[in-house]
Amino acid sequence: MGVEQKLGDLGVVTHRLEDLVNWGRTNAMWPMLFGLACCAIEMMDTQASHYDGSRFGMELMRPSPRQSDLMIVAGRVSRKMAPVLRRLYEQMPDPKWVIAMGDCASCGGIFNNYAIVQGVDEIVPVDVYIAGCPPRPEGLINGIMTLHEKIRTEGLAHYA
Amino acid sequence: MSLFDDLKKSVFFQVPAGMATTLKHVFKPPITIRYPDVKRPVRYRYKGRHHLRRYDNGLEKCIGCSLCAAACPADAIFVEASENTDEERYSPGERYASTYEINMLRCIFCGYCEDACPTEAIQLGHDYELAYYDRASAIYTKGMLIDMPINGMPSTPRQTEPGVFTQSIPDMEDPK
């Protein structure tokens, strides 16, 4: 029983506010230009003409965290880089999301040693983990679409 | 420097020359692969997600020897073996893998497990769409990795005649 049934046919389309907000969020998600290792090469390829991230509204890789919504942690994060990554995350305006791209960012991967952070979820909240060493550009796009699916399920309670 | 050289360097020549390149590409078909709808085929030897294979008779190829786990440079594989019996047979020979887990977020898809396997049980497939919401769901268990039996053969475990499946590793062909 929605408003349209009460009011009759007024020629007005009603919809949930969450759907509109989520539509806006998923279709204009600017990633941050933040490559750490070899996964960054595949991240560049995702934005290049063969895979073309602008089809998903990821028009530009923003070199400034103040202008970006999505942080793709592409590559291994060393213990020295960890505070920098945390600071960049805190500089991003809400709403913000994090994708841990590849094995090293997700859980340390092959680098199970003292110098590498064993997964960036130690320092920032990660939304989607993508497996692969490095993942193909298709794999990254699939991860981004998995993130879109997650955002579409979010409601007003998550927006705060 | 002649007048012609000056003209060649001026905007009246340079800008149309540049725009000609743009115009040429306007009429070419775009090279973008529309990925979620159109999938670019991978190479035959592409190393993606693992599969645990079966013999044609439906028995599992994996005998739980853990050689793949030993060969794995990232320690992504965990294997636990149990004893086969003729009443409950999973694979030919004495033992089978009762637990077989691969952490896809550790795995670097190098294919060393494939090389180490004495029965060609584990093979890397062509699936690359591996994205997870949490790290626990990246651990693939044996049930997710193993293939279905082909040609309507029965699955495992199953009851078999005593003394038939005594050999763990089948007789291989001579390398060509």
- How many angstroms separate the CA of residue B98 from the nearest CA in chain A? 25
The answer to whether the Cβ–Cβ distance between A139 and B108 falls below 8 Å is no
Residue B14 buriedness (CB in 10 A; 0-12 / 13-18 / 19+): exposed
Q: Which residues of B108-123 are buried (b: 16+ CB within 10 A; e: fewer)?
A: bbbebbbebbebebbb
* Residue from B73, B52, B72 nearest B63 by CA: B52
Q: Which of B32, B105, B106 sits opposite A52 (nearest CB)?
A: B32
**Res A61: pLDDT:** 85
pLDDT digits (tens, 9 = 90+) for B132-166: 999 999 999 999 999 888 888 888 888 888 888 88
Helices and strands of chain A, counted as H and E runs: 7, 3
Query: Is residue B9 within 8 angstroms of chain A, CB to CB?
Result: no
Q: Which of A50, A106, A136 sits opposite B135 (nearest CB)?
A: A106
In this prediction, residues A134-157 reach a mean pLDDT of: 89
Domain over B50-145 is classified CATH 3.30.70.3270: yes
Query: Is residue A107 within 8 angstroms of chain B, CB to CB?
Result: yes
How far apart, in whole angstroms, are the C-alpha atoms of residue B103 and residue B92?
Answer: 26
Domain ranges of chain B: 50-145
CB B132 within 8 A of CB A131: yes
**Res A11: pLDDT:** 63
Q: What is the mean pLDDT of chain A?
A: 86
| Secondary structure letter of residue B81 according to DSSP | E
Distance set, CA A117 to CA A105, A106, B47, B158 (Å): 8, 9, 26, 46
**Res A2: pLDDT:** 62
pLDDT digits (tens, 9 = 90+) for A89-111: 999 998 899 999 989 999 988 99
pLDDT digits (tens, 9 = 90+) for A7-59: 666 666 667 788 888 888 888 889 998 888 889 999 999 988 899 888 888 88
Instruction: Tell me the percentage of chain A whose pLDDT exceeds 70.
Output: 90
